[in-house]
Amino acid sequence: MAMCEDESTRAVDKSATDPAEFKCPANEIDVDERTTESTFRPDMNLPRDFVGHVLSFDGSAMSPKNDGYGSCSWILWRLPSWDIEIAASAHLLATTVDVAKYTGMNNGVKAALERDITDLIIVGDSQLLIHQSMGAIACKEDTQMARHKKLTDQLSSARYLHVLGRYNAAADSLAT
């Protein structure tokens, strides 16, 4: 598995595409930790001339003592213009954070398939979900993972990219 040497952001490739096409942000940009980004900015990890689609997702949930409801979101971006193909969210009853995030990711992959998109970079701020999706970590949510695998098996390629939360702000704002 190829990974960027920067611990804060990792680019990983599940498909046959060369993961070296991703760049480590530490070598590219100096981020002031006192500021926060208000938009999704994974472009620091993608080649400037990248043409394709990126899916960002997120999810949130209240604790069971607060009824356990939650929400999820997914945004499908078309590069290099960063046009939004779809931005959506859904209310979830009786859920957990991980299930909410999986639901956002799976709904996003489904939205891509409905638009005949077969090559997808899936971006999220959950290292756990990204690594589970790549098969690097076992998944306790077998139902969610099985659904994700069934959906991504319909894609020609699925690549995964973990980003810091501040670079997933657009999806985060839809999921809260």
| Domain residue spans of the chain | 10-16+50-174
> Which option is the CATH number for 10-16+50-174: 3.40.50.1970, 3.40.718.10, 3.40.50.880, 3.30.420.10?
3.30.420.10
Among the ranges given (4-13, 62-71, 79-88, 106-115), the one the predictor scored with the smallest mean pLDDT: 4-13
pTM tops 0.85, yes or no: no
> Does 164 score more than 80 pLDDT?
yes
**Is residue 53 a contact partner of residue 121, using CB atoms and an 8 Å limit?**
yes
pLDDT band at 109 (very low <50, low <70, confident <90, very high): very high
Comparing 16 with 94, the larger pLDDT belongs to: 94
User: Which stretches within the chain are classed as H helix?
Assistant: 25-28, 97-114, 127-134, 142-152, 169-174
Question: Alpha-carbon distance 56 to 41, whole Å?
Answer: 10
